[in-house]
């Protein structure tokens, strides 16, 4: 039992050392007034109002870049709490993607804000999506990966998402 516990502690230290040893860039959104940090090895793209951070391809056969994206939505006049927004967004997501399965839905804290996260998957991809509302604005931060690579990039994705701050 002691050997097992020691091995777990060593592995946790190695994983956290790897994530924190990586250099990060900071993206500042002048339009939506937020900042978020992402690994220097990742690429930042802005596509139709969505800010996306894409992992590097792992090799020549890699056809999907795991990513974290940020979507900001003005919900003025709707008077929704973070929980109401999160549930409505998940309902819409499930209607849009008939193959989507929700694995987990929980309340959490994201940099001092009440938020909700959903873990879901379809036949090819797995998602971890955080949602919260502040000042009539909904913020959605989504990590997307291939099913078999979800855990490999999860620590980095969570580090990116947890760096998100509204200024």
CATH code for the domain in which residue 130 is found: 3.40.1000.10
In a domain, 14, yes or no: no
User: What value does the mean pLDDT take over residues 44-64?
Assistant: 93
Name 69's bridge partners. 52, 142
Tokens 């209607």 sit at which residue?
A: 95
* 146 domain-assigned: yes
Instruction: Tell me if 9 is assigned to some domain.
Output: no
92-116 per-position pLDDT tens digit: 999 999 999 999 999 999 989 999 9
Whether 2 is covered by a domain: the verdict is: no
Question: Which residue shows structure tokens 């994983």?
Answer: 15
- Mapping DSSP to helix (H, G, I), strand (E, B) and coil, where does residue 151 land? helix
What lies within 8 Å, CB to CB, of 25 at 6+ separation is 37, 38, 39, 40, 44
Strand spans (E) along the chain: 24-29, 34-39, 43-47, 50-54, 67-74, 101-110, 113-121, 125-134, 137-146, 165-166
Both tokens of residue 113? 């804000």
Within a domain: residue 17? no
Contact 119, 126 (CB under 8 A): yes
* pTM given for the model: 0.85
Query: Would you say residue 12 lies in a domain?
Result: no
Bridge partner residues of 27 (DSSP)? 36
Let me know if residue 115 belongs to a domain: yes
30-53 confidence digits (pLDDT tens)? 889 999 999 999 999 998 889 999
60 in a domain, yes or no? yes
- The domain in which residue 61 lies consists of 23-166
Given a cut of 60, whether residue 3 has pLDDT beyond it is no
Instruction: Provide the domain count of the chain.
Output: 1
């Amino acid at each position: 039992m002691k050997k097992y516990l020691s091995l777990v502690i060593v592995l946790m230290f190695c994983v956290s050392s790897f994530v924190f040893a990586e250099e990060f860039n900071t993206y500042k959104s002048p339009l939506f007034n937020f900042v978020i940090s992402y690994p220097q090895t990742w690429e930042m793209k802005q596509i139709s109002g969505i800010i996306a951070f894409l992992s590097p391809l792992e090799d020549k056969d890699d056809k999907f870049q795991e990513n974290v994206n940020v979507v900001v939505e003005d919900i003025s006049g709707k008077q929704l709490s973070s929980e109401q927004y999160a549930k409505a967004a998940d309902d819409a997501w499930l209607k849009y993607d008939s193959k989507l399965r929700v694995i987990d839905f929980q309340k959490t804290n994201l940099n001092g804000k009440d938020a909700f996260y959903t873990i879901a998957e379809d036949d090819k991809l797995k998602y971890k999506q955080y949602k919260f509302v502040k000042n009539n604005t909904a913020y959605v931060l989504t990590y997307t990966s291939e099913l078999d690579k979800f855990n490999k990039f999860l620590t980095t994705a969570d580090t990116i998402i947890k760096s998100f701050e509204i200024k």
